[in-house]
Amino acid sequence: MVGELIAGRYELEKLVGSGGMSNVFRAHDRLLERTVALKILHEQYTRDEDYVERFRREARAVAQLAHPNIVTVIDRGEQDGRQFIVFEYVDGQNLKDLSARGPLEAHEAIRLTLQVARALSFAHGRGLVHRDVKPQNVLLNDDGQAKVTDFGIARSLDVHGVTQTGTVLGTSDYIAPEQARGLKVDPKTDIYSLGAVLYELLTGEVPYSGDNFVAVAMRHVNEPPPSVLDHRPDCPLRLDLAIQRAMAKDPQDRFQSMDDFVVELEGCLGELDGRGDEGATMIVPAPPKPRRTRPRRDRRIPAVPLLLVLLAMLLVAGGAYLLLRDDGGVPLAPKGSSHTSVQLQGSGAYDPEGDGSEHGEDAHFATDHDASTSWDTETYNNFQKGGVGLVLKAPRQVALSKLTVQSVGSDFDAQIKAGDSSGGPFTDVSGDFQPVGSSKAFSVDTHGRKYLYYVVWLKLPFEGGQAQISEVTART
């Protein structure tokens, strides 16, 4: 097939990858004079409408995902009955190639995993579960940027029946227990697989080995998560616990969302960089349930010796606590804390006194976990509107308690509003306008009511300018 011209435009230059459903070629786009990647469905599947639809679904799914850490879809088409998808070409290795050379330093492993986690969080926010997260599906460009690819078995959370039980898809080295058992998948399935990938980056080995697909899959189902510390005693304890949390057998015991996994990985990276995390807490697995013990005979101990023993135990415990704190330990989360992060998605702009646009197509840059990108307002010579807004959509109706806005050196005041529709009306939930500066944490009070949409409603100084919002995070 090398040398063949597809759709009168794409000249196949080299086979760069092959999978169970398709081949991937490096190709030259004659129209735009650039190098692209062309994925062509194997001929034996072109007569099977299920496979053809899965292939088409991949194109539709990834076309929705404009994110710096997701490979971009450029085109899709059919020639002589063969289905093809055109992607941006990433000239580099994949994570599997990288890990094959040996374990990565913890800092580099976290940095790469964070990029993948942010990409998957973005996909989850748009209703897509990847279902085949593995190092081979993470490409690295010349700048070391990770890009997730191969959404060929991705499933939409919004389409009835596509997460049906009884179907096992995925790669056994990284497969989640519920997926191996043919049960319904959700975003926590990707969390498990990404935890397995991070384990391999740190150890150079997959979490479980076996002679065949079934043997490995059953180990994922039945055996407890392995500890990185067994291979890498230098691995930070917090990072090891994060991986075990991500790879918990019961999805309910994992991080509640990919965004929560991102927050914990950022905390681990901050500790390695010596920054720490002010107010952050280490998320650890739930303690095991106490074992039943046989009743003992009542042996009375004189009160004074008993008090002395208890006092000694308290002193030892206090000393151990201080030693742990001096050694870089992180206090556990306060008991009863119920605040959790919420992954908002920039969905548009609100400009009721203008033309209604206000760069709404760039709203997603404010929630992509990349401080180098931003949603920007129009540039004004003077600002006479009551305000313009960045519209944020929650994954479900929630009552937020805190919303933090980060800006890029622009001067504006803002308040937070909430509503049930992206087009309004919106209700003030944070009080009067407040200056944002480089970062502003707004206290939100919805009076117990849950909303699907929140708006950063802002005003520029009268002399105008431009507002830039690089990141928005939120908590219940």
Last residue of a domain, one of 54, 72, 88: 88
Q: Give yes or no for residue 266 having a pLDDT over 80.
A: yes
- What is the pLDDT, as a whole number, of residue 25? 92
In a domain, 129, yes or no: yes
If asked whether residues 82 and 226 sit together in one domain, one would say no
463 or 399, which is more confident? 399
The pLDDT of residue 452 is above 80: yes
Residue 142 has pLDDT above 50, yes or no: yes
Of these residues, 48, 50, 91, 132, which one is catalytic?
132
DSSP one-letter code for 432:
S
SS3 351: coil
The answer, yes or no, to whether residue 51 has pLDDT greater than 80, is no
The least confident of 140-149, 279-288, 356-365, 388-397 is 279-288
Rounded alpha-carbon distances, angstroms, from residue 248 to 231, 328, 333, 457: 19, 26, 19, 40
If one counts the domains in the chain, the total is: 3
Which pLDDT value is given to residue 285? 46
> Percentage of the chain surpassing pLDDT 90?
49
Prediction pTM value: 0.56
Domain boundary residue, one of 272, 305, 330: 272
CATH number at residue 75: 3.30.200.20
Return the closest-CA partner of residue 333 out of 235, 245, 422, 219: 245
User: What 3-state class would DSSP assign to 143?
Assistant: coil
pLDDT reading at 52 higher than 90: no
Q: Which of 113-122, 128-137, 151-160 has the highest mean pLDDT?
A: 113-122
**465, 376 in Cβ contact below 8 A?**
no
Count CB atoms within 10 A of the CB of residue 373: 18
Are residue 161 and residue 40 in the same domain, yes or no?
no
Q: Quickly state the pLDDT bin for 398 (edges 50, 70, 90).
A: very high
Residues 42 and 100 reside in one and the same domain: no
Q: Residue 394 sits in a domain of what CATH number? A: 2.60.120.260
Domain boundary residue, one of 272, 292, 307: 272
- Identify whether 247 is part of a domain: yes
Q: Are strands 434-435 and 413-419 parallel, antiparallel or unpaired?
A: antiparallel
Give the domain extent around 75: 5-88
The DSSP result for 279-347, as a single string, is T--B--PPPPPPPP-PPPP-----HHHHHHHHHHHHHHHHHHHHHHHHTT--PBPPTT----EE--EEE
CA–CA distance, 150 with 96 (Å, rounded to integer): 14
Regarding whether 376 and 263 lie in a shared domain, the answer is no
Q: How far is CA 418 from the centre of its chain?
A: 25
Tens digit of pLDDT for each residue in 304-320?
444 444 444 444 444 44
Which range, of 53-62, 245-254, 274-283, 391-400, averages the lowest pLDDT?
274-283
Tell me whether residue 313 is in a domain.
no
Same domain, 124 and 50: no
Identify whether residues 378 and 426 lie together within a single domain. yes
Average pLDDT, the chain: 81
**pLDDT for 409 beyond 70:** no
- Would you say residue 288 lies in a domain? no
Closest CA to 134 of 158, 108, 98, 170: 170
Residues 82 and 109 in one domain: no
* 371 and 450 fall within a common domain: yes
Alpha helices in 204-291 (DSSP H): 213-222, 237-246, 258-272
Catalytic status, residue 132? yes
464: left (phi over 0), alpha (psi -120 to 50) or beta: left
pLDDT score recorded for residue 65: 81
Residue written as token pair 């929705």: 64
The reported pLDDT for the residue numbered 150 is 80
pLDDT value at 411 more than 60: yes
Q: What is the mean pLDDT of residues 121-132?
A: 89
pLDDT above 70 covers what percent of the chain? Answer: 81
pLDDT band, residue 357 (cuts 50/70/90) = confident
Q: How far is CA 218 from the centre of its chain?
A: 26
Which tens digits make up the pLDDT trace of 69-91?
Answer: 998 888 888 888 888 989 999 98
What whole-number distance in Å separates Cα of residue 398 and Cα of residue 388?
A: 23
